[in-house]
Structure 1
């Protein structure tokens, strides 16, 4: 008797569940998108196939409601779509517009590799660049982007942006890199004084060559704030020299920014941290710099002081 009673209870529960499910399916069938899908595919569907697809129809409508209500779905970031599969109705999932946009933004950011650079360059934009007193640098940056877009395998001289502290040289580098990213090109930006310190630390970690190779082979390289600190002969010749020599040989686009003009930078590089005068070695570095980039002065007021 106990088993019979339990079986009867289970049967009644299943009946209630079936009744509830049938009601939910009936409601799902009234969904306008479901109705439109059935109407559009009526030649391939019968009452039997629609009935046997009830679970999928319910899944579709239920997932749609979850998205509208901001609830967690079976496949977060994906929207359900009704499809025909072997003459039955099925559900496929496609990326939502929000997910597509997030992926596109992530791809853009991935194309700009920033090493020890200010955070504000992430949002830097040529369209937002204040061209007052700085029209020439902006025009030159735009010309480079267009020339590179049209012939990315050709050699293009980069820009050597010289100017006083705070006039927007670093921002222009970041804005140019972001514009290149929009065109599908990868750029690496490095803050050279910080990079030089890291290279010295890399000696003890035995990964100097790895770091140098990573930088020297970048499709487009932007070296920010070169000349800001005195360099050791080793960093000048065995790090910077090797990077620039490789890029000159491979004809890879290279940008620089500095508070020094090219002539001033050559004088700066002549004297090592130890005070040694080495004009020949400095001249070799500058020969590569002048081959890779042409000097463009960035003038104007110190915008960092204005923003404070």
Structure 2
């Protein structure tokens, strides 16, 4: 943004410049913001204002820009998302004009939004699912067949906000494309606004990536610790992965063993709980291991409420 001195440089020299400069000074002194400032700080005399015309010019100019805000990305002020605020402060018995930069509401809203999003981590989940905006109306009424399950998720969110972090999570089961991941991302976003951290993991790709992590023990340890410690953990599309005994018993088992009775874990799946137990009971390496499948389900079944998500397949729409 141009300063007062830069504006004056564009004017012709001589008497015409002097006349324009005096006219600008008078316009600034008569500006409603300056009149209001002097009313608030009556000890600020006209000489103090004239000695700080550059600050006064910036003050009025930036407030004008804010009144016609083109949006943060196009903010014309010197410091994006901030405007100049003037005040009078006593300095050695003399009131001096002091300026400071103040963040605008849009800047604070963006900052708050960034803080919310920073609380949610995703592994192999489309970022669009987390970065898009959500509304309660869209969640509840986009698909009326999904209304009951949406109400259960909304009820869980409200309960957590009122009572604090729960130890039980939710298990969202249902057909392909009914919005199970969408509901879980909404829950993470809403509870992130309440200060809770969250992680959502797309299980099929996570399981495949674990094979490479086996050669990177530090990365594996950090990933497991993050999933153990986060407030809210979502295993997305569980039951669609190609399971092996190591992943089931030493990764999933370790994470769930730590979280049960401590922090809630959530799941989306095309399987119901009985079908998921059958899935966990068979691996390509060792075949049927019913007791190991049941052992892992003992860390899931007692700690979730089952939510059937009905509705039409929305993928590709």
Q: Partner of 2:145: helix, strand, or coil?
A: coil
User: Deviations for 1:89-124, whole angstroms, at most 9, x for unmatched residues?
Assistant: 222221112212211222222233222213442234
Give the 3 Å change call, closer, same or farther, for CA 125–228 of structure 1 in structure 2: farther
Give TM-score, length-normalised by structure 1. Answer: 0.84
Q: Which has the higher helix share?
A: 1
Instruction: Write out aligned runs for 1:56-135 (5 A).
Output: 56-64=55-63, 72-86=76-90, 87-122=95-130, 123=132, 124-129=134-139, 130-135=142-147
Give how far 1:125 is off: 4.3
Give how far 1:19 is off: 7.6
Give the 3 Å change call, closer, same or farther, for CA 26–209 of structure 1 in structure 2: same
Give how far 1:193 is off: 1.1
Between the two proteins, the alignment pairs up a number of residues equal to: 291
1:283 corresponds, among 294, 301, 314, to 294
The whole-number CA distance in structure 1 between the counterparts of 2:298 and 2:184 is 22
The whole-number CA distance in structure 2 between the counterparts of 1:148 and 1:60 is 45
Map of 1:6 onto structure 2: none
Gaps of 5+ in 2: 1-12
The whole-number CA distance in structure 1 between the counterparts of 2:75 and 2:248 is 57
Alignment check: 8 A CA contact 1:125 1:176 kept: no
RMSD: 2.6
1:212 corresponds, among 224, 229, 251, to 224
Q: Partner of 1:104: helix, strand, or coil?
A: helix
Gaps of 5+ in 1: 1-12
The whole-number CA distance in structure 2 between the counterparts of 1:185 and 1:52 is 51
Alignment check: 8 A CA contact 2:203 2:235 kept: yes
1:296 and 2:310 are equivalent in the alignment: no
Give the 3 Å change call, closer, same or farther, for CA 88–220 of structure 1 in structure 2: same
Map of 2:5 onto structure 1: none
Q: Partner of 1:227: helix, strand, or coil?
A: coil
The whole-number CA distance in structure 2 between the counterparts of 1:126 and 1:233 is 41
Map of 1:4 onto structure 2: none
Give how far 1:72 is off: 3.8
User: Deviations for 1:32-91, whole angstroms, at most 9, x for unmatched residues?
Assistant: 11112112322x223343333334223323444565586743322101112112212222
Q: Partner of 1:102: helix, strand, or coil?
A: helix
The whole-number CA distance in structure 1 between the counterparts of 2:143 and 2:169 is 19
1:28 and 2:28 are equivalent in the alignment: yes
Give how far 1:185 is off: 2.4
The whole-number CA distance in structure 2 between the counterparts of 1:273 and 1:22 is 87
Q: Point out the structure with max Rg over C-alpha.
A: 1
